[in-house]
Structure 1
Amino acid sequence: MRIKIIIIALLLNTSIFSQEKSLGLGLQMFNNIEQIEYCLPLPLKEMKEKSGSERCHHSFVGKKNKNTTIDVQGFYRDDTTISLETYFAETYNDETYANGKIVTQKEILKNKNCYYAIGYYNNFLDKYEFAEVTWVRKDEVMKMQIQYPTKDKKLWYERLKIIIKNAYCR
């Protein structure tokens, strides 16, 4: 009987691990269990979650470099008739530049119901860059903001592709 239990446990573990997808680049899935659910591949082993009390908001800071940060937050949509394109246009406009963000790349990905932007802060040219992704769902909006040292931009560009491709929930 004991051997059967061990064999069943081994088979279960094997099937669980075979279903896990290797994401690469140090990314593993982060899931919250709040009202606005999100599931994102993040480099959790490199980050430390900052404590906070805001619902549906998680902030991370790099263990080795405190200037590497990730903020993820979910919101309910007040007006569900606003389109993905309208959110995009309202997010990245002249005011964005006036506030010191220089967007070097931006795109709407309709097949993922999201848009993203990559850029830098005019006060920190050649020091820090940012990447932002916003997912627009039927009743919710989820935003992720990442700041990283410019020297790590190649790594973060590759990670961003994986994050967008593998973000899911519901």
Structure 2
Amino acid sequence: MKAPLFIRPLSADERLVLQTGLHSRDTFTRRRCQILLANAEGKTAPKIATQLGCATQTVLNALNAFVTEGMECLREKSHRTKSARTFLIQDTSAEQVFGLLRSNPSEFGRDPGLWTLSAVAEVAFEQGLTSRPVCEETIRQTFKRLGVDWMQAKSWGYPNLHDARQAAGLAG
């Protein structure tokens, strides 16, 4: 059986911050303060969980967060996974990726005719427009962010980007 997890002794300043946090409007901060103060008084994770009506894992998460982050653990972090990226292709590169559509795929060693999302993704990486290979959905979302409908854009054969953007209704 694992030994119960206890945090280090709290300084007077930390204890004051935690006691003040008990009156916070933010429920996350208030719950973390309750957990840390109870543990500092010698209560184990299961007992704290029972007392507060939460899961033992919630208590363990709070205690481990205090061990690694200190008082920063009182601020709620994003729940988004660390692997999730908002935009893998930034604005400047997005315009350049969009610019690929004005050329023929055969110029880049691809089958002539219509662009495919995978071909755009491969060429964007080969041309250094993306820092790493990206998936088709990243390309689709990049075009969507630019206001471009992929189903129409893949067949554009316009000689320059201005004409393509005008056809998409993005330029006057």
| Same fold? TM cut 0.5 | no
Question: Considering only CA atoms, is the larger Rg found in Structure 1 or Structure 2?
Answer: 2
TM tier relative to shorter chain = under 0.3
User: 1 or 2, which has the higher strand percentage?
Assistant: 1
TM-score (norm 1): 0.21
Comparing both chains, which one has the higher relative contact order based on Cα–Cα distances under 8 Å and sequence gaps of 6 or more? 1
User: 1 or 2, which has the higher helix percentage?
Assistant: 2
TM-score (norm 2): 0.20
